[in-house]
Structure 1
């Protein structure tokens, strides 16, 4: 793509949302994505354009992805479009006795017996992944996320954006964690999906790295140290050359120089589009603040070591908003007293105050949703509160049915509405 076709920083965005297909009565996963698409097109095709939004397949047959058909600047309208698409899809799924379920992980799915892989168009790619990594586990077949695609025009903009994204990634799970329960029990992680994410490609470490991307700030250096290394490391496992290093790159944010965009991949899917887009707008405002150097220069941002950022990330995926941030340099850079106890929740509450002053038009439509997350906790924390530590199947089913209703009605989940008695 020539630069003349590319967007500058924050001119438009691409949002992708992944949802599970489940049985209406049992809420068990229902691997019918191919049959659903065939009912619309008459063939097994992996992507269907429905106007402003597009539905596409994923590796697992019980997962569908909803994305904007083209980059858009109007995320308020996108929220309306997403909700209409979800309502339409649920109408279609009802004919299969199924519906969409939110959250980043199914609470009782058994991937060994319930995982079925997409085998149609692009099926050879998924087959290669399965052969190398064995995609039956939770980390492959039971994870749903929100992706945010942010444009950059040239190396200068890439440098600013990549540097800013590296700093926000460790604290994103303190906003978005929604995978505390897997296998019918609390996993001791608020974001268990990301624990799987950081470990499920250990056989080839260069694919995921430390999840937090390396301190690389140019296209040439990125290709030399990331894509070339991936290409070298995958070769013995992929003799037919099916897998492209660009697809294999699994860091928490990946550079797509072919598109002129960076894709953030470590946000757990929420209970409804309004919650996902609220988080997306807060993330965008935060990145605007950093790329515009309002609180620190890009040079200072680039100095943060990947290992230090990874240490914060590892704590946050376990404890979410309750994580105590111990990195004094990180706290000081964002205006906190490094000698006072600051949790990830404290961090975001202060950031929201500052960002709302800087970017009121971006955040005002989403202020109530953001406040609910910061006041009542991540969706993971609200799910745990609603279970009251009762992980019996009947209680989990009650809680997750309420979450599924939240998706259909575009309402945020209130732990007071459900719970064990």
Structure 2
């Protein structure tokens, strides 16, 4: 976001997808071939009208994103879907297809991972040296990112305070990673279970996932960026890693573009679901910023440790996680005990009049039938054979092609 925009003036949405082999269903490290087919030569970034395509750390993941800030979120599902259809057409002769959801259910990261070998490869290689990027936490974590602008410190304070409050609830809306290596993991959001720990060698980078209580640029640099720079220095002799890039909290401040990026959203089965989730989160944040639920002081008072406890439970149980912290529930005008599903139902009813009607069906399906993780587990049932898992995930691939919702 080049020039500073005011709160909620514009949005940036990013969606990450896996390439899989149509026959074997294995991840296919061939994003470079896709980008070459589209552009006529290998390039890491492609502008395709309103949507841009780019590579990621690993060679089997493609990122689709709004091509710069956009004012309208309501037509994005159609725009992303048009690009998905174009990509699938380009992939067909290669015998490849796209797959949504946050984690491939059968990937063996030690043998299946190939890092991107082209632009930025020196950055990725250094990351790999420090962290070994072959684990699930690096190579099998597809997400949706929501970028929201702020104009100055005053707006940053309001936005960061609201985002911190909402982060623990996000897995209860969009967990989509319940199976790894053919096993039901016991976590509805296994992506985030790995996300918590995948940089344990340098804990300053991720912190407690929930960002610290910092509400100004100066404070953010002192509390978050300086410790990151200090911690990475012994590993980064040539100074090629940048502090904005290194910060791996669940929401990161990008002062280089005056935006906060929310990273805790698991990608879904189709853009219809993804954009509905983004729209709901954004409307709830607007309501928090306007103090419709509680004061700014109440939002700012929360320490990361207390919010992390709620998040940690949500990573495991998603919408069924119990929240018994009375003070937290009071922020939204609710009483204990409540599940995260109860909280989201309440938030949805509150902001529903502000939401475009095109998002209702997806949100209501999630609130009534459960997160995508829950619906995947229902479809898989007790049969975790490779064949059955592939059958279920082929249905999810079909949802991506048709831009529809997964209803087991």
Q: CA deviation at 1:35?
A: 1.6
Question: Where does the alignment leave 5 or more consecutive residues of structure 2 unmatched?
Answer: none
User: In 2, are the aligned partners of 1:282 and 1:363 still within 8 Å (CA)?
Assistant: no
User: In 1, are the aligned partners of 2:74 and 2:356 still within 8 Å (CA)?
Assistant: no
Deviations 1:122-143 (A, max 9, x none): 1101001001000010100011
Number of the residue aligned with 2:275:
277
What does 1:124-273 align with in structure 2 at a 5 Å threshold?
124-273=122-271
State the TM-score, normalizing by the size of structure 2. 0.98
Mean Cα displacement is larger for which, 362-371 or 323-332? 362-371
**2-side partners of 1:238 and 1:43: how far apart?**
32
Q: CA deviation at 1:389?
A: 2.0
Q: Does 1:351 find its partner at 2:347? A: yes
**2-side partners of 1:105 and 1:395: how far apart?**
17
Q: 2:378 aligns with which of 382, 385, 403?
A: 385
**2-side partners of 1:121 and 1:337: how far apart?**
51
Q: 2:399 aligns with which of 389, 403, 406?
A: 406
**1-side partners of 2:39 and 2:50: how far apart?**
18
**2-side partners of 1:152 and 1:211: how far apart?**
21
Q: Does 1:372 find its partner at 2:365? A: yes
Q: CA deviation at 1:23?
A: 0.9
User: In 2, are the aligned partners of 1:44 and 1:121 still within 8 Å (CA)?
Assistant: no
State the TM-score, normalizing by the size of structure 1. 0.95
Number of the residue aligned with 1:419:
none
Deviations 1:377-411 (A, max 9, x none): 00000000001121100100100000001001000
Number of the residue aligned with 1:45:
43
Number of the residue aligned with 2:338:
342
Output the aligned Cα RMSD. Answer: 1.0
**2-side partners of 1:179 and 1:347: how far apart?**
22
Question: Where does the alignment leave 5 or more consecutive residues of structure 1 unmatched?
Answer: 416-421
Q: Does 1:62 find its partner at 2:55? A: no
Q: CA deviation at 1:44?
A: 2.6
**1-side partners of 2:399 and 2:219: how far apart?**
44
